[in-house]
Structure 1
């Protein structure tokens, strides 16, 4: 045995070893006629102006994009009333969250988040070497803010708050959020994941007051949901200039493509079209909620583009019934089922599944 063979490389990240790759064992449709309502995607084609932008930018795939996505960053700052120095862009909100966590936490640190939640949170925290601390939601699907505060220790570096929450769709009222932030130690970053905020009638995306009042707050957003650009992977965040500067250093070079940047900038100018689409999704959400209730189920009121059924141990059985009806939903075993707002045909199949589920 040579010395090289005897000395094996050690990849020492015990936190990361606890997890599988993201959704590596997740369910996928196994037939072309299965309608997928498991990913919270917008079931609408790109806006006409965005489609035209994609056609033009698609002719430039032989060229590298701007590694700093400066055109997008400048337009985001102008559109929302931020400073460019307060703006971070990256490959989806998940990518931007990874950038943020890499500069906020490391080995020996802790990051708190509500659970169940976005299932990438534990993995993204573990990549940094930090330990994720899941805090159970309340019985009504809300963040347990007093418990989150009670779990803060000298090792806590960040708290992730998702509002509207994935998977329950519950929002944190602004006054309640401010009370929490006022009680949070300033040394602990509060990452407010607002991936679904455009679907919430109570929120104004142009209100960046939180990062002005609290320098430890980050507002994390995406073009994947309301803007319907999930396949292009464009996310962004607003934060203090200090946090934003560090987060920009951790971005994977060229991770925001030219097509994604152009489509995102074009999307920002489609205010009226976006408003009509949001109204359409909200109407379908309300109809789905009402129809499930009429069947005898008890969905939780949602401010996002999905509906949550708190079915506990019966969650997997409902998901199986949905698959037999030709639709894929997301089961959080032991907690509930998340159903994305889709098409009227997809909702019809969900109601067929609900009828079968309740008949047993």
Structure 2
């Protein structure tokens, strides 16, 4: 599930415990304090930031606010497998653009007069592809003015920061918005807290559908503490990325087809042997998922990653099922 298995960030446990005394109170119902802190850290204003119950809820809010029946949303494929569901929940039609490498020309070519949003996952889940600033600028230049671009940066902290586009810095284009989460890099997936940044006219409509997508009081406290531990978060993300790359190198030495990844996961392409590989890993106590024609392997702590490599080594020596012996 691409969870963060590293220790909680400094101050998070203490913030959670201290916040329990106020769970009987409404508190900061719409997380205005968290939005002010995020805006300050991002060098923007609070009216351009909206906090929500994780990036998934914010994606749904954004699509609901900006789409309607008869409209469409374009996204690359393979990508986050919940995009089609979220788009249909907003009353729009998903338009998938196939190709393991996202091509901004192909994405732009799929846009019509009915398109309201282009969804971009960076790094892409599950392929791990990282898109740079020039790619994003080229996409914006190729799109008509009526189309919004929402960049899903759920895993950006695990990517090489010199390579990945930072959509929050391209604020000159009001069509561009970015959604991020504390679930992965900050290890708060069980608390559901994220945020979306964009032009005021793009962010404003989300607030009208926000009352039932609140960030709980305890999650706000944990998020603020996690922001204070930013240096430690970045250190942990670099350690996770190093483990991810170590596992990829080991798998490639064994002959596996594994593209480079900017997330905290790898996408192993085994074709017709995907399910056989999944079953083999399960026999060794390892849970992985088949996603979009490949097997997604999350990056865990070093011992777990060693277990993946050991099991993969044993599988690589197994004959293909059904082969003539």
- Aligned counterpart, 2:298: 340
Q: Deviations over 1:107-156 (max 9, x none)?
A: 0000011122212211111111111111112xxx3213221111111111
- Is 1:318 the counterpart of 2:277 in the alignment? yes
Give the drift of 1:59: 2.6
Give the drift of 1:355: 2.4
CA contact (8 A) 2:167 2:178 kept: no
- Is 1:89 the counterpart of 2:48 in the alignment? no
Match of 1:169 among 111, 128, 135: 128
Give the drift of 1:65: 4.1
- Aligned counterpart, 1:63: 25
- Aligned counterpart, 1:114: 76
Give the drift of 1:277: 0.7
CA contact (8 A) 2:118 2:150 kept: yes
Which residues of 2 match residues 13-92 of structure 1 at below 5 A? Answer: 39-92=1-54
| Alpha-carbon distance in 1 for matches of 2:97, 2:27 | 40
Match of 2:87 among 106, 112, 125: 125
CA contact (8 A) 1:67 1:254 kept: no
Q: Deviations over 1:65-121 (max 9, x none)?
A: 422101100000001111101001110000111110011111000001112221221
Q: Deviations over 1:267-307 (max 9, x none)?
A: 11112211221121111111111111121112111111111
- Aligned counterpart, 1:209: 169
| Alpha-carbon distance in 1 for matches of 2:273, 2:144 | 39
- Aligned counterpart, 2:218: 259
Change (3 A) 1:206 1:76: farther
CA contact (8 A) 2:151 2:167 kept: no
The Cα RMSD (Å) is 1.6
| Alpha-carbon distance in 1 for matches of 2:166, 2:278 | 37
CA contact (8 A) 2:49 2:198 kept: yes
SS, match of residue 187 in structure 1:
coil
Give me the TM-score of the superposition, normalised by structure 1.
0.84
- Aligned counterpart, 1:353: 311
CA contact (8 A) 2:35 2:49 kept: yes
The total of aligned residue pairs comes to 317
| Alpha-carbon distance in 2 for matches of 1:205, 1:183 | 17
Give me the TM-score of the superposition, normalised by structure 2.
0.93
CA contact (8 A) 2:182 2:193 kept: yes
| Alpha-carbon distance in 1 for matches of 2:20, 2:79 | 35
| Alpha-carbon distance in 2 for matches of 1:308, 1:299 | 6
Change (3 A) 1:206 1:182: closer
SS, match of residue 232 in structure 1:
coil
| Alpha-carbon distance in 2 for matches of 1:44, 1:65 | 30
Unaligned stretches of 5+ residues in structure 1: 1-38
Give the drift of 1:207: 6.6
CA contact (8 A) 2:53 2:214 kept: yes
| Alpha-carbon distance in 2 for matches of 1:356, 1:252 | 51
CA contact (8 A) 1:65 1:256 kept: no
